[in-house]
Structure 1
C-alpha cells in the first residue's frame, strides 16, 4: 500500500539530482572498465573492437539494473528517487483505469471517489515535487469540486493511502 508522505520539494529535487549523478558516475565507470577489459581480453590490436566495446556497455547496463534493484534501491540516498518512482507508478495505475474511475464517480461510487481523491492528492504532490506549476490551477479546481462532493456525501477526504483493493474494484468495470 503506497502512502503519500509530506516532502520538501526543493530538498527532494536536490536529493534526486544527487542520486542521479551517483548512479550515472557508477554506470560510466562500470561501462569504461568492462569495455576496456573486453577489448584487452578478446580484442585485436588495431582491429575493429566495436562489438567488445558495445558488449562491455551492455554488461554494464545489466549489472547496473541488478545493483539498482538489489543494492541501491534500499539505500537512504536513494529514498527520495524511490518515493518519486513509487508515486508515479501509483498514479499511472490509476491513470490506466481513469475512464472507469470517472464513470464510477459520476454514479456516486464511494471507492471510486476515494481513488480519485488519492489521485488528485498524489498528482498535486508530484507537480510540486517536480516543480511543475503549469497545470496546477486546473487541477486545483477539479480537486476542490471533488472534495466538496465527497464532503457532501460524508466521505473522508484525507485519502493519502492507495489501497490496492480500490484498483481491483474498478477493474471489473473495464471487462
Structure 2
C-alpha cells in the first residue's frame, strides 16, 4: 500500500538530481571499461570493433539493471527517487482506469471517490515536486469541487494511502 509522504520540493529535486548523476557516472564508467575490455580481449587492432563496443555498453546496461534492483534501490541516497517512482506508478495505476473511476464517482461510489481523492492529492504533490505549476491551477479547482462533494457525502477526505482493494473493486464493476 503506497502512502503519500510530505516532501520538501527543493530538497527532493536536489536529491533526485544527485542520485541521477551518481547513476549516470556509474553507467558511463561501466560502459567505458566494459567496452574497452571487450575490444582489448576480442577486437582487432585497427579493425572494426563496433560490435565489441556495443556489446560492452549492452553488458553495462544489464549490470546497471542488476545494481539498481539489487543494491542502489535500497540506498538512502536513492530514497527520494524511489518515492517519486512509486508515486508516479501509483498515479498511473489510477490513470489506466480513470474512465471507470469517473463513471463510478458520478454514481457516488465511496471507493471511487476515495480513489479520485488520492489521485488528486498525489498528482498535486507530483506537480509540486517536479515544479510543474502550469497544470496546478486547474487541478486545484477540480480538487476543491471533489473534496466538497466528498464532505457532503460524509466521506473522509484525507486519502493519503492507495488501497489496492479500491482498484480491484473498480475493475470488478460491470461497465
Normalised to the residue count of structure 2, the TM-score between the two structures is 0.99
- CA contact under 8 A between 1:100 and 1:174: conserved in structure 2? no
**1:67-123 deviation line (CA, Å, top 9, x unaligned):** 000000000000000000000000000000000000000000000000000000000
SS in 1 for 2:173: helix
2:64 is the counterpart of 1:64: yes
SS in 2 for 1:142: helix
Unaligned runs of 5+ in 1: none
Residues 1-175 of structure 1 aligned to structure 2 (within 5 Å): 1-173=1-173
**Shift of the alpha carbon at 1:173?**
3.2
Q: Which runs of 4+ in 1 moved over 3 A?
A: none
RMSD, matched Cα: 0.8
Unaligned runs of 5+ in 2: none
Which piece of structure 1 moves more, 164-173 or 134-143?
Answer: 164-173
Residues paired across the two proteins, number: 175
**1:124-159 deviation line (CA, Å, top 9, x unaligned):** 000000000000010000000000000001100000
In 2, Cα distance between equivalents of 1:99 and 1:46: 59
**Shift of the alpha carbon at 1:174?**
6.4
Normalised to the residue count of structure 1, the TM-score between the two structures is 0.99
